[in-house]
Chain A
Amino acid sequence: MIRLLKIELQKHISYKAFWLMLLFYALLLAVMIFGIPGLIDYIAEKSGEPSKFRIFKAIVFNFPDIWQNIAFVASARFFIKIVLGIIIIIIVTNEFHFLTIRSNIISGLDKKDFLVAKIELVILLSLFSTLIIFLSGLYLGFMHSASKSVFDVFGKMVFLLGYFIEIFSYLLFCMMLGIIFKRTGITFVVHFVYLIVEPILDHNLNEKFTPYLPLNAINGIIKTPNTSLIKIKSPEFNYDFQEFVSMSDVGVCLGYAALFVGLSYLILKKRDI
């Protein structure tokens, strides 16, 4: 395990594009995390109803709800996690483009080792992303939250675990696409087209099935938090918010993760490299 991770990291440690993309991701996250409070203040001033926005701000950054809020925003499907997906797609398709998967196998890895090493990288990137969210949540919470009791700070931290599982599954999805399509450009196109196609499917399918669409499933652990402006504007607005992590959502998501890994393995095994 450690040996495979070491081999995997050797491939990327001196790869500038890898670090640039990671840096870009971290910067985007930082801008978002540190920019949002300022943005809310700005809107508050312009809106003429500053008090409502101040309430909103207090709700958004309040422990323990902050964990669901921040995880929800960071894991949004059209948002910054795409940068991590792109990193995985590039790294996987590079191996086919440069034929290095072939040299890896000839040298003494087998196809399973190759896949396990990539999954370990996916885990590492997911941990990295979760760590940033964790640190940002602590910072923002301690800056803005009314309550700072230990109980509240750690209260809903289970959403971080949910976030980790979502990111992990999404990156496995990207890895699988890379393994199926092999070429970077084509994989990008398929990935983005699918991002657009699934919401269209979502619109047209029976509501019973839509939660089981792949992207819905791997975005399904962290539900829309109960902090929307709508609620503040109109308290009578009725929506059943889910403010916990449900095991069945986690199960569906992990089911997809297993499916992505299984398909990747079958394809690698069947294919001539």
Chain B
Amino acid sequence: MRFAISANRLLDGIVVFFGSSHHWVDQLSAASLYASKNEAEAALAVARLDQTRNVVVEPYVFEVRAEGAPIAHHIREAIRAAGPTVRKDHGKQADLLADKR
């Protein structure tokens, strides 16, 4: 099991993930993955600085399986990382589709 960090962007509330060089990215596939909970918690302390800088709201750590592309372990996080399962035309999944086109 790996770990990643997510939050909502303050400006539009959209789900974002903590990526390399302390940038927030839109897709889980681009998120930084941490090998242990401790490592993730340490990164979270850095991510929280962006809360005080008013970039994101409520960053937190969640579990990820990363055999290939990272997949959120819990269904709630998987839905968050993709978009509503009943509206494939919205959320991250729609952005990915648009990119493929």
* Binding partners A and B: no
